[in-house]
Amino acid sequence: MTVQIGGGEPLARLAARRIRNIACEPLEPAVRHKAALCLLDFLGCCVAGRRMPWAPALLRFADDRAGTPEAYHWSLGRRVSAGMAAFGNGVLGHSIIRDDMHVASGSHIGVLILPAAIALAERDDLPGRALLAGIVAGYEMAGRLGTAVRGSGAFNRHFRPSGIVGAFGAAAAACAASQLDEDRTVHALGFGANFACGLNEWAWSGGQELFAHAGMAAQSGLNAFDLACSGMQSSETILEGADGVFAAYGCGSDAARIFASSLSEDYCILGVRHKPNAGCNFIQTPIAAALEAAKRLNSPNKIDEIVIRTFGEAQCYPGCDYTGPFTSLQQSKMSLQYGVSAALLWGRVDENAYARLADPVLNALVSRCRIELDAGFAEAFPARQGAAIDVRLHDGSRTVATLDDVPWLDDTAVEARFLAEMADYAGAAAANRILEAAHGLNDLESSRDLFALFPSRTPEPVDASRSDTTPRRPTTDGL
């Protein structure tokens, strides 16, 4: 695939050509396979997300605003407007913080672009091949933009990378899936860039807005696409312009060059990775190393000190170097100290472990953690994300476990996880049919044949003990 770079053409136009290229040329089998795998991993996350404490609130929100039934909503188990489906499935899919990872862009692209692509495909009855092209293009544009922003040497870290790239990528997905012409694709990208959202304060405060980042990105990407389809026009220089994306986020001067040159590289989606555990990307290797160390530790209660060796990006990412107090899953799933301590104490880091926020033994271990930066790990990043856990006991003995990268799940493991989670929700037969349909998407005349397999069901009654006490409608006294 080649895209002409340079010649003074705006970056959004070059990007639009790459999108058109993906939309109109046959996709290689490996790319199609990866797109299906990403879709399955996302659907598994949606199912798992239904168990989170805020799921009832999401259910209420969606139920109130369902609109015209156009696309399947995994929380409601029925069809709602495409925009609401994109939003709700984005929130749900991100809810366990286990969705896929594109390291170079620092973004969870799947939950940003997949909800938009599948909502659009169902709404507009697109062929399976079109949906695949949309997925590939969405990963491509979100990944390329994020890599340029992060790889430029500087950017404003108060903005969340997934938020910066999300609507841009989702708009790209919609354009490719619909084979939109070049001009309108440029405008859709411009609106998508303008619809970016997401700050990083949640990582410190434990707010739930990070989940909305994903939903907003997907919904806004669809809005961007629909606006462009209707004829609204945006700034063609939205990326490189004087007040464009790279300037606004304080990116280094290399961002435009990185973006342009990356458009002729291999498919971005092939670099997407699948997490072994829920939680931030940067805590994956430390947790895996700690789980290794835990196998060799007899007495976690005799630990004197835990040294977590990592690299600067992991330590300085919002919420990662945090020792509490822990009041939410969002905090425990970001904290290096929490994840490592849980692994050493319980030998597992699952939803139950993340939820034991006030456990005194766990918090005692957290307080004994110390982070050390390792030059070797720093040099290897972002290609590899190494970590070492050095556990020092009262008797002077040490247990050290080192991993040079995240033990990302391979294809088989991703599918096995999907089948287990989907079978638990919809039955083994349905899970298998969805898996087969996802891998056969390229041959489906209508992607609705896949969506028809999604289970229609009435949501379980809201468990009052797990829900918040927010009234269905705000009261009108005061504000």
- DSSP state, 10? -
Asked if residue 478 binds another protein (CB under 8 A), the reply is yes
230 vs 299 by CB, closer to another protein: 230
242 vs 383 by CB, closer to another protein: 242
Distances (CA, A) of 79 to 89, 178, 235, 454: 12, 21, 34, 10
- Indicate which single residue of 2, 8, 29, 230 sits in contact with another protein (rule: CB under 8 A): 230
Nearest distance in Å: CB 127, another protein: 21
Nearest one of 166, 143, 161, 144 to 259, comparing CA atoms = 144
- DSSP state, 283? G
What does 307-325 look like in DSSP terms, one character per residue? EEEE-HHHHHSTTTS----
29 vs 478 by CB, closer to another protein: 478
Nearest one of 90, 33, 120, 85 to 440, comparing CA atoms = 33
> Which of 222-230, 294-302, 308-316, 434-442 is the region at the interface with another protein (rule: CB under 8 A)?
222-230
Nearest distance in Å: CB 479, another protein: 5
The secondary structure element, H or E, covering residue 392 is strand 387-393
205 vs 352 by CB, closer to another protein: 205
- Indicate which single residue of 85, 227, 239, 260 sits in contact with another protein (rule: CB under 8 A): 227
Q: Mutual orientation of helices 209-230 and 109-123 as an angle, nearest 10°?
A: 40
> Which of 155-163, 225-233, 336-344, 400-408 is the region at the interface with another protein (rule: CB under 8 A)?
225-233
- Indicate which single residue of 226, 254, 265, 449 sits in contact with another protein (rule: CB under 8 A): 226
Helix (H, G, I), strand (E, B) or coil at 367: helix
Cβ–Cβ < 8 Å for 58, 88: yes
51 vs 65 by CB, closer to another protein: 65
Cβ–Cβ < 8 Å for 348, 246: no
Nearest distance in Å: CB 12, another protein: 19
Count of residues that interact with another protein, criterion CB under 8 A: 16
Asked if residue 67 binds another protein (CB under 8 A), the reply is yes
Rg (CA), the chain: 22
Asked if residue 199 binds another protein (CB under 8 A), the reply is no
- DSSP state, 255? H
Structure tokens given for 144:
């390329």
Asked if residue 235 binds another protein (CB under 8 A), the reply is no
- Indicate which single residue of 26, 30, 51, 65 sits in contact with another protein (rule: CB under 8 A): 65
Q: Which chain residues interact with another protein by CB under 8 A?
A: 65, 67-68, 81, 83, 226-227, 229-233, 473, 476, 478-479
